[in-house]
Amino acid sequence: MSSQPLLEFQALTFERDDWPLFSDLSGTIKAGEILQITGPNGCGKTTLLQVLATIQPVNRGTLRWLGNNIAQCLQQYLAIIAFIGHKPGLKLSLTPRENLQWLAKLQPLTRCTSAEALARIGLAGFEDVPCYTLSAGQLRRAALAALCMTQATLWFLDEPLTALDVEGIANLEALLLEHVAKGGAVVLSSHQPLVNPLVRTLALDTMAEAGL
């Protein structure tokens, strides 16, 4: 794999109501890596993920994709990333299969069929039931099934382990390892530790916890 980082972030600063969530934050994400963002509630984990995915603008700082300023190649960058937020982002009146079919109209989801993706993530037999009948863990699995199908190189996942049982966590970890083994990369936030040599940790602190 190339030693050049897929993504570089330099001196990122994000302020909310004139209060910095993080400042002068720098780092890299290389192919074959999983970067886990950790820290207490309110420290900016979700915000940092959204900044790296260009959903949120920063006050100061630079993002580079393969050495190029993302501002100069934004459409190309958006075409190779996938973002799954803390909420499943599913239409509850639709089935898991229908949600994936709808999503496939917005972005390329062609690595496998929706049935294969749902089976891989542990939802075989629940492909065609309305999502409002599913448990929180099953809804999480339905959202994560898109990862089995996406062609995106860089995945951003906000608390993907939330509500998953032991089997669901094992399925997701196997999927992440398979992705990075093929040259992809993952950035995720989680309070639960991932024990794997491919996982690097970026710990965010919060001024509120320090009594500031």
CA pair distance 82, 111, nearest whole angstrom: 14
1-79+185-212 to CATH, choices 1.10.3720.10, 3.40.50.300, 3.50.50.60, 3.20.20.70? 3.40.50.300
Torsion sign over Cα 92, 93, 98, 99: negative
Which of 163, 165, 173 shows the shortest CA–CA distance to 193? Answer: 173
> φ and ψ at 139, to 5 degrees?
-65, -40
β partners of residue 34: 186, 199
Extents of the domains making up the chain: 1-79+185-212
CA pair distance 166, 159, nearest whole angstrom: 15
CA distances from 204 to 99, 112, 150 (A): 34, 36, 29
3-state secondary structure of 90: coil
CA distances from 9 to 5, 68, 86, 106, 175 (A): 10, 11, 22, 27, 26
* Tens-level pLDDT at each residue, the chain (212 residues): 557 899 999 999 999 887 888 899 999 999 999 999 998 888 899 999 999 999 999 889 999 999 999 999 999 999 999 999 989 899 999 999 999 999 888 776 677 889 999 999 999 999 999 999 999 999 999 999 999 999 999 999 999 999 999 999 999 999 999 999 999 999 999 888 776 777 899 998 743 333 32
Query: Hunting for tokens 């959204």 — which residue is that?
Result: 50
